[in-house]
């Protein structure tokens, strides 16, 4: 059963509380990744996971494939480079990622190589060199061909309270979920709407924050709720986190 939307009879805080209790799990935490403290190893693990989630493939398959990378010890730029393309394809296939195995192996090798060359293998260095949120996003995309807006958004969404310059605009799935719950009105019609919607969601959270949770949890809950609604409405489809 989905959370019921804000209808004027229930408080916004109660709607947010119900949403968070059902869907407030962060994707990184579910994978056992600890981003607090911005340890470079944990940050890179989350980047690998974000690349896997960024394809048109189910969350379940992407999560399973990430666990195969952990089992194989392929969680650093150095280990990915040393493993090579054939080994990466093998690990991707073992997690059920066969549809995108070749291009993802190529992408991971390019990303790991460029991260080593430009930022000493540390995404925290990349963040420190960015001039602001949009430059940060571009620098991440520049790490490799195929690192697109969806992957960058997934990655930075859960880095929002770890990196000062991480402030991604909301994905369509989060916007649609917020609208379905009656938290915001309208859709993204022009790109500038995303900034307005992000500010509206931040304002809603500041006025109605739920104890024990933060804005990143709220945003993750919106994404999970949106994915759940999409699965229910379309049946079993491959969707991005």
Per-residue pLDDT of 30-49, as tens digits, reads 999 999 999 999 999 999 99
The per-residue pLDDT for range 94-146, each reduced to its tens digit, is 999 999 999 999 999 999 999 999 999 999 999 999 999 999 999 999 999 99
Instruction: Give me 154's structure tokens.
Output: 């997934």
3-state helix, strand, coil in the chain (%, to 5): 65, 0, 35
**pLDDT at residue 233, as a whole number:** 78
**Contact indicator for 205, 178 with CB cutoff of 8 Å:** no
The model's pTM is 0.91
Residue 19 pLDDT greater than 50, yes or no = yes
The per-residue pLDDT for range 88-97, each reduced to its tens digit, is 999 999 999 9
- Can you say whether the dihedral through the CA atoms of 111, 116, 119, 124 is positive or negative? positive
The third-level CATH classification (topology) of the domain covering 29-157 is: Endonuclease III; domain 1 (1.10.340)
Q: Where in the chain is the domain with CATH 1.10.340.30?
A: 29-157
Confidence of residue 11 (pLDDT cuts 50, 70, 90): confident
**Contact indicator for 109, 77 with CB cutoff of 8 Å:** no
Across all residues in the chain, what is the average pLDDT?
92
């Amino acid at each position: 059963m989905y959370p019921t939307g804000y209808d004027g009879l229930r408080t916004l805080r109660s709607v947010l509380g119900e949403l968070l209790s059902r869907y407030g799990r962060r994707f990184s935490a579910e994978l056992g990744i600890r981003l607090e403290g911005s340890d470079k190893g944990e940050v890179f693990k989350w980047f690998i996971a974000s690349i896997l989630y960024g394809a048109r493939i189910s969350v379940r398959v992407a999560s399973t494939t990430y666990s195969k990378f952990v089992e194989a010890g392929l969680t650093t730029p150095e280990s990915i480079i040393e493993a090579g393309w054939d080994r990466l394809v093998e690990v991707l296939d073992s997690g059920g990622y066969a549809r995108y195995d070749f291009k993802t192996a190529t992408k991971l090798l390019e990303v790991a190589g460029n991260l080593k060359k430009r930022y000493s293998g540390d995404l925290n260095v990349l963040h420190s060199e960015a001039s602001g949120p949009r430059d940060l996003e571009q620098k991440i995309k520049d790490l490799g061909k195929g690192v697109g807006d969806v992957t960058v958004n997934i990655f930075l969404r859960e880095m929002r309270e770890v990196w000062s310059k991480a402030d991604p605009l909301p994905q369509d799935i989060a916007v649609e979920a917020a609208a379905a719950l009656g938290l915001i009105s309208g859709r993204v019609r022009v790109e500038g709407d995303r900034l307005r919607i992000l500010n509206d969601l931040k304002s809603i959270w500041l006025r109605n924050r739920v104890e024990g949770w933060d804005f990143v949890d709220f945003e993750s809950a919106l994404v999970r709720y949106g994915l759940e609604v999409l699965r229910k409405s379309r049946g079993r489809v491959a969707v991005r986190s």
